[in-house]
Structure 1
Amino acid sequence: MATYKKRGYKPETKAEQQEFDEQESTTAEVFSSLDEGASRSEEWVSKNQNFILGAIGVIAISVLGYLAYDQFVEKPKEASAANEMYYPQQYFDQALVATNAKDSLFTLALEGAEGKYGFLDIIEEYNGTKAANLANYGAGMSYLNMNNYQEAITYLEDFSSDDAVLGALAKGGLGDAFMQLDQASDALGYYEAAVKHSGNDYTAPKFLYKAGITALEMGDKDKALGFFQKIKDEFPKSENANSIDAFIGMAKSGE
């Protein structure tokens, strides 16, 4: 077993002298190995200095490049796309309240006019921007109102939003499109998704009602009853609650 040697220690016997010499030799070897390791590290750094500096340079250039792209390309692109949305949005809003020529206005919203972009142009030219995402919503709803249900589905599926109203309306619009294509099961799934997206007083009772009607048509009265009852209990002041007792009665009939 190794013993602690005080400073100034001198071996008294030949055996102790031999042990002392061995320890001194081992210590010297350890420090020699450390020196050699340090020398090799310094040598590697020296040999690869250009590589190291180059790697640092690449990282720095990448960061600066990203910042420059964001500042001088991405932000101006977003601003330009947002400006282009003004014209098709006007036509879209007019179409929603128009009593005639609705399809013509929706077409102008989709395709643009007088050198101005429509929703479809913005989607293509400004792909990846917030405006292009909103243009997907506008295009999908335009096609839905023009009874072009397949196109409506295509564009509404490309739209995404956390907004309580827009997100729910998009999912509900998909439900309407599938319902018109006689795909009631898909429609019901989207109506339920619309309700789940937001429980606000505007969209939730609207799509609970549509979900209930769809479930009735599918012959699932229990599920329909759940939707109608939720309108009665949670949204009693909504427009859809006005005649909800009659639908609850329909869902309960035959129980």
Structure 2
Amino acid sequence: MATYKKNNNRPNRNRNTEQLDEAQEAQLHQESTTAEVFDALDAGANRTEDWVKRNQKIIIGVLVAVAVVGLGYLLYQQFVKAPNEKKAANEFFFAQQFFDEAMQATDTKVKDSLFKVSIEGGKGKYGFKQIAQNYSGTKAANLAEYGMGMAYMRLGDYNNAINHLKEFNSDDDIFGALAYGNIGDAYLQQKNNAEALKYYIKAFEHSNNDFVTPLYLKKAGIVASLQGKKEDALKYYERIKEEFPTSEEARTIDILIGKISQ
């Protein structure tokens, strides 16, 4: 870097300062300061160089570890996660088929049986439960938690419905809101109005669209009214009337508003 210190050749090093005028003193001061800066930089560089030499093995080890982790992540994505996603998706397809058949069945015993198969599996195929357990971290496993929650809802097992719907995670406007809303429905079935209202609010706050938002605003208004929170209920109803005038919920909203206003 600098050569002032090593070669002892800083500018005007041996100049006799007693014979200098003010301008020369100023120049000498500047040159001296510059030399000190270079000295400091040299010293810092030397210290850094010494530290690198002392810790060379550690530094190399860290760099190798970072490279290994990066390579491992790429290999995991390519040879573990991608195949798992495909397998999980294939298994989910069959579980979903059982669920869909249950939704279409008219006989109660057949319906319940198919919902149980969609959860537990059958005919050599995984159900939602095995998919969630064996393919944890995949998209299919996440959807399996939602499917399981909805199947338990249909079976009237509200505790399990709540637990599995809470495990489901989605930023999707529709699915995310429906998960919260169905948790609210399950709590309502258990006559836990406080928790039901909490999740209805989560549902309509999750997204703003014509399908789910007015639906859960209305449900939140009804439960809030049951709890004596008439001002909150009115606020939810008015929002339906103002923001979603063409929704199905808006058709009867004046009746609900009238009941609160009496």
TM-score range normalised by the length of the shorter chain: 0.7 to 0.9
In structure 2, relative to structure 1, the CA distance for the partners of 1:60 and 1:188 (3 Å cut) is same
Indicate yes or no: 2:96 matched with 1:84: no
Match of 1:119 among 109, 128, 137: 128
Partner of 2:249: 240
Distance in 1 separating the partners of 2:13 and 2:166: 85
Partner of 1:209: 218
Partner of 2:23: none
Match of 2:148 among 139, 151, 161: 139
What amino acid is the match of 1:179? L
Aligned Cα root-mean-square deviation (Å): 3.2
For normalisation by structure 1, the TM-score amounts to 0.81
Match of 1:59, SS state, is helix
Structure 2 residue ranges without an equivalent (≥5) = 1-9, 20-36
Indicate yes or no: 2:233 matched with 1:224: yes
Q: What whole-Å deviation, never above 9, does each CA across 1:137-160 have from its counterpart, x for those lacking one?
A: 111111111111100110011111
Distance in 1 separating the partners of 2:147 and 2:201: 22
Partner of 1:185: 194
Distance in 2 separating the partners of 1:117 and 1:34: 67
Per the TM alignment, residue 55 of structure 1 is displaced from its structure 2 partner at its CA by 3.0
Q: What whole-Å deviation, never above 9, does each CA across 1:156-186 have from its counterpart, x for those lacking one?
A: 1111111111001000001001111111011
Indicate yes or no: 2:77 matched with 1:70: yes
What amino acid is the match of 1:60? A
Match of 2:188, SS state, is helix
In structure 2, relative to structure 1, the CA distance for the partners of 1:224 and 1:65 (3 Å cut) is same
Match of 2:168 among 159, 169, 188: 159
Distance in 2 separating the partners of 1:71 and 1:89: 26
Match of 2:122, SS state, is coil
Match of 2:62 among 43, 55, 63: 55
In structure 2, relative to structure 1, the CA distance for the partners of 1:31 and 1:210 (3 Å cut) is closer
Q: How many residues are paired up? A: 238
Match of 2:165, SS state, is helix
Moved more, 177-186 or 42-51: 42-51
Percentage of matched positions with identical amino acids: 48
Per the TM alignment, residue 38 of structure 1 is displaced from its structure 2 partner at its CA by 7.3
Partner of 1:96: 103
Distance in 2 separating the partners of 1:43 and 1:220: 71
Distance in 2 separating the partners of 1:153 and 1:140: 7
Distance in 1 separating the partners of 2:148 and 2:114: 12
Per the TM alignment, residue 118 of structure 1 is displaced from its structure 2 partner at its CA by 0.5
In structure 2, relative to structure 1, the CA distance for the partners of 1:53 and 1:219 (3 Å cut) is closer
Q: What whole-Å deviation, never above 9, does each CA across 1:9-58 have from its counterpart, x for those lacking one?
A: 775x9x88xxxxxxxxxxxxx99999998778766655654444333222
Distance in 2 separating the partners of 1:246 and 1:252: 10
For normalisation by structure 2, the TM-score amounts to 0.79
